[in-house]
Structure 1
Amino acid sequence: MLIMPTNQYTCKNCEKSFDVTYKFCPYCGQKSKDELTLGILFSNTISNYFSVDARFFKSFIPLMTRPGYLAKRFLEGKRLLYLHPAQMYLFISVVLFFLFSFIANKQATLFDASIKKDFERAKVVMDSMYQKPLDSVQFKKYMAPYIKNNEDLELTNAEIKSLDSIIKTSSSSKRSYNFAGFNQTEVDSLLRVGASDQVIYKHMGLDDDAGYLKRKFYEQFLKFYKYKSGGSILKRFYDTIPIAMFFLLPIFALLLKLMYFRKGAYAYHLVFSFYFFAYLFTVFSILVACNFIWSNFPVWITVLTMLSTFIYLFIGLKRFYEQGWFISFVKSNVIVLSFFTILIPITLFLAFFAFLYY
């Protein structure tokens, strides 16, 4: 009868036995006798993080200085030496949107202040248009009903100024001007008396049989007009960007597939896209950090840096797909123009969505 040696330890993870002198299970790699403590918990978390981080730093310099290099090495089979393309993209995107959240809050505050100032300025302009001093022709027009037998009135300057003030007050109380297609004076009056939103919607021109989208638009526009706050819209727009990027990156890879349809399967082009977007997000992260630290960060540096990303793409395509410089330049232009043709309507849709659901 076979007797199991007593110096064996059973792994709690894979439930296989091995010699008690082993510190790790030879079958699954889990540490033997790994009792869970706070120290074990956080040491594992930190070690796992830095195992990714170490490969990230090993991949960072090639990513920033050698366009197309990491994607080419990955397809050649060198997949453990450098960080996985999808993992690198996700890691850098988390860093970018974390940094961007600080800028977004600052921009939202500035945007609110700017909108309120614009509304106040517009009100001053409109009020001044309705309270201009009366000229002689306007004065005679207003005084005509009070003059009998076309007799001229002998008035002092003080009396003329007094009459002018009375006429302006009377006319300004009747003034009415439109804003964004609705009567602003009426809406302001309804807001002052505490009218319900449904009543205000009718005065703004909303039909009783209007559909959901139109009603939602009026609802959001009235909210915007009440509080003069656009920062919430801007923050909602920024919140949609990470989600949009998960759709834009596969679209970019599809454009690569169309331009290089003989160069491999779709996954082949997706690898290049992951690394290229990781590069873009790294550049954006640096720019966001610079703008956050230095409020007057030179615009020309930002512009030149953004233009350099096209040069990076051009060189990356040339090296990755191994085609000539001229054909790579032409294809990179076509890809960028096509991508922006898709990006612009998506951006407009996201802005409209942000307005409807902020």
Structure 2
Amino acid sequence: METKQVKCKNCEKPYKEGFQFCPHCGQKTNDELTLSVLFYNTISNYFSFDARFLKSFIPLMIKPGYLAKKFIEGKRLMYLHPAQMYLFISVVFFFLFSFSIAEWEKEAVRFNEKIAKAPLQIDMPDEAKAELDSVKNMEVLKNLKNNKAILGLKDEDLKKADSIIQTDTDDINMSWDFNKKKIDSLIAVGAEENVIYKEMGMSDDASYFERRMYRGVLNLAKGTGAGNMLRRAFDAVPITMFILLPLFALILKIFYFRKGRYSYHLVFTFYLFSFLFMLFAILMAINRFVIEIPGWILTLIVLSTFFYFYFGLLRFYERNWFTTLLKGTVISTIFSIFVVITTVSLVLFGFMNA
């Protein structure tokens, strides 16, 4: 007797009647739309992710190279996928990091406002600078008070003068290479940027790079550049990390070229960067919401990440300790150079696009 065939509503391939799941695509044959059916995939995927993340968290933090080695050996459902873990942890890290960036941005704006008010710095002997002390400032204020009627000054004007004189400006050591007062006047009257650039000293045949640099300096002179510069640089960090991560895997491939394909080294890199982001995220969370961690402890923790990297290389690549130490040091040095170059590039990018 011939068994009745039915067609799957998902993949449209035939199968024998009576199956609870399609043998081709795995979809449940009973397609009655209930709340459980509607949210089954979402809930199951969420708790599957949650369970695998919890299983992966402890080995990630205390067993360097363990997860990468298990993934290469074929255990790819027990623990969270390396790319998935990296994406999840990086989102948490950048969310917490945004709070620090917001504070730094405010500080940068305040500092930039001080810079914008700084006059042209004039070099003078140390003896002459010593005379410009608090006593001298108080004499200036006293003369202003005694002659306020002649000068037409009000009490409010004297208060402003007092605040300016008493303001601590020792931290500002800004020297402008142009006539700051004239530039301020051009800004006040709404002069075109090209006119201001010329007055600042930009060449007639300025390149795109030179023009952007003068734009950054002008924004600093206006008192708006530092905050925008920091924000622009921060916005470029996630994209930069997606460049640095595969670059790090490429460096590993060069030093361990006999240990498999590029994807082999990329797995190790994903888990390593996940550990670094998770560690820094935990430190930021503690520092912000629990207790402020002393700077020397933070420094020791950051330096200890090299040992995590070293033991991870030992476990994952299975080489002797001396060769691993040598390669780990060279790899860290090369990558640090790229990080410095990237950091400088980000600052320049933020400055030129402030």
| TM surpasses 0.5 | yes
Q: Which amino acid aligns with 2:11?
A: C
Identical counterparts, % of pairs: 51
Equivalent in the alignment of 1:203: 199
Mapped pair 1:101 → 2:104: no
Alignment of 1:243-258 (within 5 A): 243-258=239-254
In terms of mean alpha carbon deviation, does 251-260 or 314-323 score higher? 251-260
Higher-Rg member (1/2): 1
Task: Give the match's secondary structure for 2:344.
Answer: helix
Task: Give the match's secondary structure for 1:230.
Answer: helix
Contact 1:116 1:229 in 2 (8 A): no
Distance 1:288 1:186, change over 3 A: same
Match of residue 353, structure 1, among 329, 346, 349? 349
Mapped pair 1:260 → 2:240: no
Equivalent in the alignment of 2:137: none
Task: Give the match's secondary structure for 2:252.
Answer: helix
Distance 1:211 1:117, change over 3 A: closer
CA deviation string 1:6-57 (max 9, x = no partner): xx5x322111345676553332122335466887555533432332222111
Equivalent in the alignment of 2:281: 285
CA deviation string 1:287-315 (max 9, x = no partner): 22223325733222221221121110111
Count of aligned pairs between the two proteins? 313
Equivalent in the alignment of 1:327: 323
> 1:82, CA displacement in angstroms?
1.2
Q: Which amino acid aligns with 1:186?
A: K
Match of residue 45, structure 1, among 42, 45, 59? 42
Contact 2:85 2:271 in 1 (8 A): yes
Contact 2:116 2:223 in 1 (8 A): no
> 1:224, CA displacement in angstroms?
3.0
Match of residue 191, structure 1, among 187, 191, 199? 187
> 1:236, CA displacement in angstroms?
1.3
Distance 1:357 1:30, change over 3 A: farther
CA deviation string 1:109-159 (max 9, x = no partner): 222123324544x34987xx99x89xxxxxxxxxxxxxxxxxxxxxxxx9x
Equivalent in the alignment of 2:334: 338
Q: Which amino acid aligns with 2:64?
A: P
What is the TM-score of this pair, normalised by structure 1?
0.77
Match of residue 297, structure 1, among 293, 297, 306? 293
Partner Cα distance (2:107, 2:20) in 1: 58
For structure 1, list consecutive stretches of 5 or more residues without a partner in the other structure.
134-157, 167-177
Partner Cα distance (2:36, 2:219) in 1: 51
Equivalent in the alignment of 1:71: 68
Partner Cα distance (2:237, 2:342) in 1: 10
Partner Cα distance (2:313, 2:54) in 1: 23
Q: Which amino acid aligns with 1:14?
A: C
In terms of mean alpha carbon deviation, does 213-222 or 304-313 score higher? 213-222
Mapped pair 1:318 → 2:326: no
Contact 1:18 1:25 in 2 (8 A): yes
Distance 1:355 1:229, change over 3 A: closer
> 1:220, CA displacement in angstroms?
3.0
What is the TM-score of this pair, normalised by structure 2?
0.78
